[in-house]
Structure 1
Amino acid sequence: MVAPRKGAFAEESAEVEVLFANMEKMKSLTKKIQGSLNRLETSGKNVQDSIGPIYGNTQKLQVTNSNIDRIIDAIDRIRAPLDQTNREERIIKAGPRKVPLQDYIASLDRTTLALSDLKRSNLRSNQQAVSELSALLKLGTKQMEEVFREVLREGSRQRVEPLEYVAKDQPFPLISQDKLSTLRLINTHISKSFAQISQTELRETPTQRTYAELRGDYLANSLRNLAAASVNTARKIAADAIYKPGTNGIGTYAQGMEGLFLAEYENICPIFTRDEWGLVYTATCQNSLNEFNKTLRELNGHIQRNLMTDCFLGYEIIGIVTNLSIRLETKTGELKRPIYDTLKPIRETSKGSLGRLLDDTRTRIQTLVALPMDGAAVPATSDTMSRLQNMTYYLTPLSSIMTSLGDGGWSAGSATSSSTSLPTLKSFDVGADGKQLFAHYASDMMDTLLQNLESKARVLLKGKNLQGVFIVNNVAVIDRMIRSSELQPLMGSYSNKLESWRKKGTAMYLEAWREPSGHLLDVQYTNRSGRPHSGGAGSADSAAIVKGLSSKDKDAIKEKFKNFNMSFDDLVSRHKSYKMEREVRTQLAREVQTIIEPLYGRFWDRYHEIDKGKGKYVKYDKGQLGSTLASLA
């Protein structure tokens, strides 16, 4: 066992020796490596000292290279607009007549977009390109404006005659759809270009201005004949002729204007954007409105010169033009104020005319130097009523005028109205208030007439019977002209006043018949025998009554018959000499008969035997008297 153990130790010892030997070798190798590391470190320091500057220069070169790339990119960006300018310049300078319109507009669009990009870049180096693109865009826009003008001129070359379309109730002509499409396309792109090249905040684009100019001339030229006709038809043939509704051409003028204006609005809407419609429409119609305003001023001068006969033309114009302004505003939203403003002079003249008509009625009566000696109604009465009848044709404008004046404002010095307020559909509606105001005005007119007629009759006519006939005749004319016209439903409240005037005139006429009536009264003594009560006169025995009279009483009865005959015959003669309206003669005859016939019948029953049927004193029996009275009607 000893031997194996020694063998094991020997083997282990050998391994240890080998290990030690390896360790020595490792130490030696470590020393060599350490020496190499030391040498390497020294060499690395030398290399670092040598390479450091080179590495720094390399980094600088990399930054420089990056900057160069960026500069190249910037140069490319700068060159791009220049290159695009060259491309678009060839198209734009060729013009829309040599390049299809769509391609030309596309080039303008690209130019507009490029200009917008350049302006946003805000590079100083791009300023030249901005200037060049702006000039190019201006050139292209100018050429497109010329195309716009040419296309528009083709559709506006010939004016229309509005009278033909109004008379036939046909729609007014419009610009053709293909032209509208072209105009819309051009306007859209010019508006965009204009926004880019405009240096100020102008509201009006070139296409707006061109459209308003050309189409404005077209409208004004088309309406010129109607304007002239309105002035010409106002000229009077007879100086005292009262204006009749519809005689003047202003109604046709307004219809023609409305038709043309509405057609023009239909043209404008497809071409321009919604926010441009009002501006372009108003500008386009302005020349026509100026001509319309001039025409109305000429008509106003004519009305002022012939106010008493042609004030009705003023009322008609107010109604026509106000309705025109309301209809156009309803359909287009525009022109209400400009059109209504043209009415200001005529409206003021018309408001003043109401007071002037009252003054004229008063003056015409007060300046009369004589009245008809037959009691006939004066022409001033029928003239005044004709004026009121004519006014009923213009209740709508008159209601507006009277509302602005206020009830009674037509009297001298009481006008308190405003002429600037625009009408509304409500204020222009003739309802109960409008009719009531007119009724008040008409009542004032008739009161003025009758009061002045009565005053003049008292001065110029002798005898109340003639004065009464005169008053009743004029009342009859007034009443008849009310009943036979549109005044009837308006003047119901005046019937009581008119009846009062009729009763007043009748009473004045009947006052003269008191004299013959007085001769038919006798004195009866009820306490004497043979003298029956007056209640039994109808059945009295005339012979017995006359027989019972004293000579003095008989003479008195004879005198009464004689006086009655004389007075009665005189009044009958005068009655028949008077010129009476048919209804007046009938009415007054009935009134006279109601008074005279019963009195005479009673008197005749009692005393007709006074001349024993010889007719010396008793000229009329009851039948003859009744026939005579009946002949008065």
Structure 2
Amino acid sequence: MVAPRTSSLVEDSAEVEILYSDLEKLKNLTKRIQGSMNRLETSGNAVAEAIGPIYGNTQRLQVMNSNVDRMLEAIDRIREPLDQRNREERIIRSGPRKTGLTDYIASLDRTTQALGDLKHSNLRSNQQAIGELNALIRLGTSQLEDVFKDILLDDVRPVEPLHYVTKALPFPAIPQEKSSRLRLINTHISASVATMSQSDVRDTPTARIYADIRGEYMAKSLRNSAVATVSTARKTTADAIYRQGTNGIGTYAQAMEGLFVAEYGNICPVFARDEWGRVYNFTCQSSLTEFSKTLRELNTHIKNNLMTDCFLGYEVMDIVSNLSISVESRTGELKRTIADCVQPIRETSKASLPKLLEDTRSRVQSLVALPIDGGSIPVTADIMTRLQTMTSYLAPLSSLMTSLGDGGWSTAPSSSSSTSLPSLRSFDVGADGKQLFEHYAIDTLDTLLSNLESKARALLKSRQLQGVFIANNVAIIERMIRNSDLGDLLGGAVIKLESWRKKSVSMYNEAWREPSTYLLDVQYTNRGGRPHSGGGSIDSAAVVKGLASKDKEAIKEKFKNFNMSFDDLVAKHKSFKMEREVRVMLAREIQAFIEPLYGRFWDRYHEIDKGKGKYVKYDKKELGSVLSGLA
């Protein structure tokens, strides 16, 4: 057992020796490594001292390189609009017709955006580029304006409005495809102008172009209507009263309304909402200027023929008022502008009302003779024709009379309201308007009849003839009122005319008082029996027998004088020229007045000549027949 243990120790001892040998080698290696580290550290320090300045320079170079890169990037950004300008310039200078409208406008948009970017950069170095881009945009805008103009010029052949008015056709409109192109061009030109301008620009080039071209188109289209309006106002008969609708102003107004409304429909698809009114007013200005000129010419004509053509003035007022209201309701524009055009005619028409009254007075007073048969005079029918004609113009007359005030037509109208625009209410013929017209008509009738009476007293000596004359003229007035629209308007005139009728009857009956006086006798109630008061028969023979010879002679004389006066008045009555209703009226009045008196007188005294007819020419039946024949 000893031998194996010894060998094991020997092996372990050998291994320990080997370990000590390896440990010694490790120590020697560590020393060498330590020496190498010391030498390396010394070398590193030397290298660090040598490389330190080089590292600092490298960092500065890195910063400088970064700055250079950023500067190059800034230069690229600055050069980008210039490079873009070069690209867009080729497109813009080639023109929209060659490039195509859509691509051309897209290029113009990019150029406009580039200009905006340059302006926001505020770099002094960009000022030249800004100027060049501005010039390029102006060129592009100018070329677009030419295209805009050419599109509009394709549809500006003047039309004949009468064709569309008479056939109730809508006036031609710009086709939708062209409207779309016009809108596209206008939008981009407006944007370009806003970008280039330093202030708010409201009047764009496209708006001016549109207003000029389309405005001239409308003015030329309406020119024939304007000429026709003036030519149809010329009179062929100097004293002929204007007849409603014979002047061309109605067709002219219809043509204007049709063209104006159609043009508003053309403008809306092309321009922005806030531009509609401004462009529309500019476009219609030429036509309105010509319209105003035409109305001034009509006004001159009306002034020169006021008594006959004042009705044309009323018609023009009515038509233009309706035109302004209609256009305003369909477009929201031009009401005041259109209404202002008729202001001169309105003032002339206002002045016509007192002048018509004065003309009524002067026409009667200028008469040098009246009909010797008591017939009516043409002046009366003329004045009534005027009033009848006025009923066709109640709306404008209501406006004029309202501005004058009730009874204001008795004096010259004030010019203080010459610039005032009548309200819508003043054109509404309500109760007030009809009442004012009634008052004016009654004043006219009163002026006519009072002057006729004055002239009759001066020129007709017989009160009977004067009465017939007044009654005839009253009858003409009543008939013309009854057979026209005046009947519904002049209810208040009935009382006035009734007073004149009674006056005429009273004047006529003055002549019949003479024969009536011969039918009056004196009866003495204290002599004999009480005279019969009626109800029983009278014994004429007994009455006559009871008369003294002197009284009998007096009764005979009364019958003779009555017969002479009665026959004379009957002959005169039949010689007078009377309107049918006047003759019937006066005959009835005479019969009601004379017949009862004669009947009573005849009943008492017809036996004075014992039926021989020497003194008693008419019995009661015969006299009644004669009186009935007066009608």
TM-score normalised according to structure 1 size: 0.91
Alignment-mate amino acid for residue 568 of structure 1 = F
In the alignment, which residue of structure 1 is the partner of 2:289? 290
Correspondence list, 1:551-570, <5 A:
551-570=549-568
User: Could you list the per-position Cα deviations for residues 33-79 of structure 1 after superposition, in whole angstroms to 9, with x for gaps in the alignment?
Assistant: 9xx99x979996x8887666555544443333232122111110111
> Which SS does the other structure have where 2:268 is aligned?
helix
In the alignment, which residue of structure 2 is the partner of 1:541? 539
> Which SS does the other structure have where 1:524 is aligned?
coil
Distance between the aligned counterparts of 1:564 and 1:538, measured in 2?
25
Q: Is the 8 A contact 1:322 1:340 kept in 2?
A: yes
User: Could you list the per-position Cα deviations for residues 99-135 of structure 1 after superposition, in whole angstroms to 9, with x for gaps in the alignment?
Assistant: 1211111111111111111111121111111111111
In the alignment, which residue of structure 2 is the partner of 1:89? 89
User: Could you list the per-position Cα deviations for residues 433-453 of structure 1 after superposition, in whole angstroms to 9, with x for gaps in the alignment?
Assistant: 111111111111111111111
Distance between the aligned counterparts of 1:231 and 1:449, measured in 2?
34
In the alignment, which residue of structure 2 is the partner of 1:235? 234
Moved more, 176-185 or 300-309: 176-185
> What is the RMSD of the two structures over their aligned residues, measured on CA atoms?
2.5
In the alignment, which residue of structure 2 is the partner of 1:159? 158
Q: Is the 8 A contact 1:405 1:416 kept in 2?
A: no
- Residue 226 and residue 414 in structure 1: after superposition, are their counterparts in 2 closer, same or farther (change >3 A)? closer
In the alignment, which residue of structure 1 is the partner of 2:148? 148
User: Could you list the per-position Cα deviations for residues 313-351 of structure 1 after superposition, in whole angstroms to 9, with x for gaps in the alignment?
Assistant: 000000000100011011101111111110110000000
- Residue 632 and residue 49 in structure 1: after superposition, are their counterparts in 2 closer, same or farther (change >3 A)? farther
In the alignment, which residue of structure 1 is the partner of 2:322? 323
User: Could you list the per-position Cα deviations for residues 487-521 of structure 1 after superposition, in whole angstroms to 9, with x for gaps in the alignment?
Assistant: 11111012111111111111111111111111101
> Which SS does the other structure have where 2:375 is aligned?
coil
Alignment-mate amino acid for residue 520 of structure 1 = L
Distance between the aligned counterparts of 1:396 and 1:290, measured in 2?
26
Distance between the aligned counterparts of 2:489 and 2:112, measured in 1?
70
2:342 aligned with 1:334? no
Distance between the aligned counterparts of 1:260 and 1:538, measured in 2?
89
Alignment-mate amino acid for residue 123 of structure 1 = L
In the alignment, which residue of structure 2 is the partner of 1:128? 128
Pairs aligned (count): 604
2:300 aligned with 1:301? yes
Q: Is the 8 A contact 1:403 1:434 kept in 2?
A: yes
- Residue 42 and residue 233 in structure 1: after superposition, are their counterparts in 2 closer, same or farther (change >3 A)? same
In the alignment, which residue of structure 2 is the partner of 1:572? 570
- Residue 205 and residue 536 in structure 1: after superposition, are their counterparts in 2 closer, same or farther (change >3 A)? closer
In the alignment, which residue of structure 2 is the partner of 1:196? 195
User: Could you list the per-position Cα deviations for residues 338-377 of structure 1 after superposition, in whole angstroms to 9, with x for gaps in the alignment?
Assistant: 1111011000000000010011111111222222221112
Moved more, 341-350 or 404-413: 404-413
In the alignment, which residue of structure 1 is the partner of 2:446? 447
Moved more, 492-501 or 305-314: 492-501
**C-alpha displacement at 1:167, in angstroms?**
0.6
Distance between the aligned counterparts of 1:230 and 1:389, measured in 2?
25
Distance between the aligned counterparts of 1:537 and 1:174, measured in 2?
93
Q: Is the 8 A contact 1:575 1:632 kept in 2?
A: yes
- Residue 347 and residue 174 in structure 1: after superposition, are their counterparts in 2 closer, same or farther (change >3 A)? same
2:102 aligned with 1:111? no
In the alignment, which residue of structure 1 is the partner of 2:24? none
Q: Is the 8 A contact 1:538 1:605 kept in 2?
A: no
> Which SS does the other structure have where 2:371 is aligned?
coil
Distance between the aligned counterparts of 1:453 and 1:53, measured in 2?
134
Distance between the aligned counterparts of 1:123 and 1:69, measured in 2?
19
Moved more, 430-439 or 371-380: 371-380
- Residue 51 and residue 534 in structure 1: after superposition, are their counterparts in 2 closer, same or farther (change >3 A)? farther
Alignment-mate amino acid for residue 125 of structure 2 = S
Q: Is the 8 A contact 1:404 1:417 kept in 2?
A: no
2:614 aligned with 1:616? yes
> Which SS does the other structure have where 2:533 is aligned?
helix
User: Could you list the per-position Cα deviations for residues 448-497 of structure 1 after superposition, in whole angstroms to 9, with x for gaps in the alignment?
Assistant: 11111112212221122111111111111111111111111111012111
In the alignment, which residue of structure 2 is the partner of 1:498? 497
In the alignment, which residue of structure 2 is the partner of 1:258? 257
> Which SS does the other structure have where 2:510 is aligned?
helix
In the alignment, which residue of structure 2 is the partner of 1:12? none
Q: Is the 8 A contact 1:258 1:328 kept in 2?
A: yes
Alignment-mate amino acid for residue 89 of structure 2 = E
Q: Is the 8 A contact 1:187 1:271 kept in 2?
A: yes
> Which SS does the other structure have where 2:512 is aligned?
helix
> Which SS does the other structure have where 2:410 is aligned?
coil
Distance between the aligned counterparts of 2:407 and 2:415, measured in 1?
10
Distance between the aligned counterparts of 1:558 and 1:41, measured in 2?
190
Alignment-mate amino acid for residue 152 of structure 2 = L
Q: Is the 8 A contact 2:193 2:201 kept in 1?
A: no
Alignment-mate amino acid for residue 80 of structure 1 = E
User: Could you list the per-position Cα deviations for residues 577-627 of structure 1 after superposition, in whole angstroms to 9, with x for gaps in the alignment?
Assistant: 111111111001100000000110111111111112221111111121111
Distance between the aligned counterparts of 1:64 and 1:563, measured in 2?
152
2:247 aligned with 1:248? yes
Correspondence list, 1:271-290, <5 A:
271-290=270-289
Q: Is the 8 A contact 2:391 2:486 kept in 1?
A: yes
- Residue 542 and residue 108 in structure 1: after superposition, are their counterparts in 2 closer, same or farther (change >3 A)? same
**C-alpha displacement at 1:425, in angstroms?**
3.5
In the alignment, which residue of structure 1 is the partner of 2:585? 587
Distance between the aligned counterparts of 1:57 and 1:609, measured in 2?
172
Alignment-mate amino acid for residue 63 of structure 1 = V
2:220 aligned with 1:221? yes
Distance between the aligned counterparts of 2:477 and 2:416, measured in 1?
31
Correspondence list, 1:514-553, <5 A:
514-529=513-528, 531-536=529-534, 539-553=537-551
User: Could you list the per-position Cα deviations for residues 391-426 of structure 1 after superposition, in whole angstroms to 9, with x for gaps in the alignment?
Assistant: 000001111111122112212146476233334443
Percent of counterpart pairs with the same letter? 69
In the alignment, which residue of structure 2 is the partner of 1:209? 208
Alignment-mate amino acid for residue 533 of structure 2 = G
Distance between the aligned counterparts of 1:62 and 1:342, measured in 2?
82
2:598 aligned with 1:600? yes
TM-score normalised according to structure 2 size: 0.91
Alignment-mate amino acid for residue 552 of structure 1 = K
Q: Is the 8 A contact 1:289 1:339 kept in 2?
A: yes
Distance between the aligned counterparts of 2:69 and 2:552, measured in 1?
156
Alignment-mate amino acid for residue 182 of structure 2 = L
Distance between the aligned counterparts of 1:131 and 1:70, measured in 2?
27
User: Could you list the per-position Cα deviations for residues 177-207 of structure 1 after superposition, in whole angstroms to 9, with x for gaps in the alignment?
Assistant: 1111111111111111121223554321111
Q: Is the 8 A contact 1:241 1:309 kept in 2?
A: yes
> Which SS does the other structure have where 2:486 is aligned?
coil
User: Could you list the per-position Cα deviations for residues 252-310 of structure 1 after superposition, in whole angstroms to 9, with x for gaps in the alignment?
Assistant: 00001100111111111111111111111111111110110010000000000000000
Distance between the aligned counterparts of 1:59 and 1:171, measured in 2?
83
In the alignment, which residue of structure 2 is the partner of 1:71? 71
Distance between the aligned counterparts of 1:580 and 1:619, measured in 2?
27
Alignment-mate amino acid for residue 85 of structure 1 = R
Distance between the aligned counterparts of 1:395 and 1:62, measured in 2?
98
Distance between the aligned counterparts of 1:152 and 1:169, measured in 2?
25
Alignment-mate amino acid for residue 546 of structure 1 = V
- Residue 451 and residue 48 in structure 1: after superposition, are their counterparts in 2 closer, same or farther (change >3 A)? farther
In the alignment, which residue of structure 1 is the partner of 2:138? 138
In the alignment, which residue of structure 2 is the partner of 1:627? 625
Distance between the aligned counterparts of 2:237 and 2:509, measured in 1?
42
> Which SS does the other structure have where 1:407 is aligned?
coil
Moved more, 309-318 or 517-526: 517-526
> Which SS does the other structure have where 2:407 is aligned?
coil
User: Could you list the per-position Cα deviations for residues 205-247 of structure 1 after superposition, in whole angstroms to 9, with x for gaps in the alignment?
Assistant: 1111111111111101111101000001001010000001101
Alignment-mate amino acid for residue 276 of structure 2 = W
